[in-house]
Amino acid sequence: MAAKTILVTGGAGYIGSHTVLQLLNGGFKAVIVDNYDNSSEIAVERVKGLAGQFASNLSCHKLDLRDREGLEKIFASTKFDAVIHFAGLKAVGESVEKPLYYFNNNLIGTIVLLEVMAAHGCKKLVFSSSATVYGWPKQVPCTEEFPLSAANPYGRTKLMIEEICRDLYQSDHGWKIILLRYFNPVGAHPSGNIGEDPRGIPNNLMPFVQQVAVGRRPALTIFGTDYKTSDGTGVRDYIHVVDLADGHIAALNKLEDPKIGCEVYNLGTGKGTSVLEMVKAFENASGKKIPLKMADRRPGDAEIVYASTDKASKELNWKAKYGIHEMCRDQWNWASKNPYGYGSADSKN
Ligand code: NAD
Ligand code: UD1
């Protein structure tokens, strides 16, 4: 059987680069479209290096998704079996300051993509949604049927794109769409060659911890110590990025199910871990002490969020394999080998 060809938007980014590697290792051909707004061409080169004999099955275009003409050309030259759509801006604080920038990039990028897909008869999509759509859940674990909300423009783009996809499927049952709600992706490929490399001050916990460990920042600020949790700090469902990447292969396989329409699945481990537990696990894995500063809660943060994994396990036949020890071990391996990510000390703060 001929190898399937997958278009991966945002494939040079953190989750995209890990997914592209798993695709290549799984015998797929992959074509990346990325404007490198929050990523580096070095990541793509490293993915090729890790893919060995499969490297020739990867090609990459520097392109903004909103460049309809450019995207049309790519679809005209290659027949895609499906699209995995990661491309988007994701910094919550920035989205509050610049909502139009977020709506323009995330919504218009997605609409142009869907229109070009439709025009070329490619109607299979896997989209990166987020557990952020559960807001502050009234109970845990979060099942896919929970009420949805958005606390900021970033979250609203995820919610809106989910709704756009549901409407699109209603209008044309030829579409097959899987919306994946990621919980908290962390860690890196075990090689330590690819990982997360955020621009500026990290918003998320583990990139911040990693930068403290390599000496780029003096201390981690803990946002809130008075939550109703075992140690007072917030609880989340951290998932190893390689497990998450594998979840996309499971979703692509599911798109072959004739009964699939527009479906949503949580990708998490089903386990909750507090901020302090995560810091301890990282200290154990790295042998580094992380200095802490206790602070007030961060506005918009939920207390406890973790996934129900039943639906993904039953219908996608996918389950996360790794625990927080492996997440922290691989995060540290990446950080210690690449203290300045894909850049150098001169190029970063
Ligand atoms: P990332 O920033 O590392 O990757 C996104 C990629 O998309 C980047 O390479 C960026 O350059 C590219 N991009 C952005 N706008 C583009 C455009 N208009 N045209 C072309 N390329 C564009 O982020 P990530 O952590 O890999 O996240 C991937 C997706 O998953 C995003 O949609 C994000 O919102 C979603 N998500 C991430 C998390 C997380 O914690 N990392 C959690 C839930 C959902
Ligand atoms: C955050 C975003 C969410 C987004 C997700 C993945 C907010 C309010 N929510 O979620 O929309 O989908 O990232 O990108 O920004 N923490 C600290 N100190 C830090 C950083 C985080 O104590 O410097 C704590 C947080 O309070 C939280 C936990 O660590 O309890 C995890 O935080 P984070 O990694 O930002 O993820 P989320 O809060 O789940």
pTM for the structure as a whole: 0.98
pLDDT score of 349 more than 70? no
Q: Which residues contact 328 (CB under 8 A, 6 or more apart)?
A: 187, 278, 281, 282, 284, 285, 286
Residue 41 lies in a domain: yes
Assign 311 to helix, strand or coil: helix
Q: What is the pLDDT of residue 198?
A: 87
Closest protein CA for atom 30 of ligand 1: 128
Residue 127 lies in a domain: yes
As to burial, measured by CB atoms within 10 angstroms (0-12 exposed, 13-18 middle, 19+ buried), residue 215 is exposed
Ligand at minimal distance from the CA of 109 is: 1
Which atom, in ligand 2's list, is nearest to the CA of 90? 14
- Token pair 């797929």 is found at 28
Closest protein CA for atom 36 of ligand 2: 204
Tokens describing residue 104: 């323009």
State the average pLDDT for the chain.
97
- Ligand 2 neighbours, Cβ below 6 Å, are 90, 92, 130, 132, 154-155, 184, 203-205, 208, 220-224, 234, 236, 275, 298, 300-301
Q: What is the pLDDT of residue 348?
A: 65
Residue 252 lies in a domain: yes
Q: What is the mean pLDDT of residues 337-349?
A: 83
Q: What is the mean pLDDT of residues 23-49?
A: 98
Residue 343 lies in a domain: no
Distance CA 72, CA 143 (A): 37
- Ligand 1 neighbours, Cβ below 6 Å, are 10, 12-16, 33-39, 64-66, 86-90, 105, 109, 128, 130, 182, 185, 204
Q: Which residues contact 108 (CB under 8 A, 6 or more apart)?
A: 66
pLDDT score of 22 more than 70? yes
- Distance (angstroms) between ligand 2 centre and the Cα of 114 equals 30
- Domain count of the chain? 1
Q: What is the mean pLDDT of residues 147-155?
A: 96
Portion of the chain with pLDDT greater than 70, in percent: 99
Verify whether residue 265 is a known catalytic residue. no
Q: Which domain holds residue 288?
A: 5-337
Distance CA 274, CA 148 (A): 23
pLDDT score of 250 more than 80? yes
Nearest in space to 331 (alpha carbons), one of 246, 267, 240 = 240
For residue 181, what pLDDT band results from cuts at 50, 70 and 90? Answer: very high
Torsion of CA 155, 161, 164, 170, to 10 degrees: -100
Residue 346 lies in a domain: no
Residue 329 lies in a domain: yes
Q: What is the mean pLDDT of residues 70-86?
A: 98
Distance CA 269, CA 282 (A): 18
Residue 92 lies in a domain: yes
Runs of H (alpha helix) within 126-177: 153-171
Distance CA 103, CA 40 (A): 23
Residue 89 lies in a domain: yes
Q: Which residues contact 191 (CB under 8 A, 6 or more apart)?
A: 50
CATH number of the domain that residue 314 is part of: 3.40.50.720
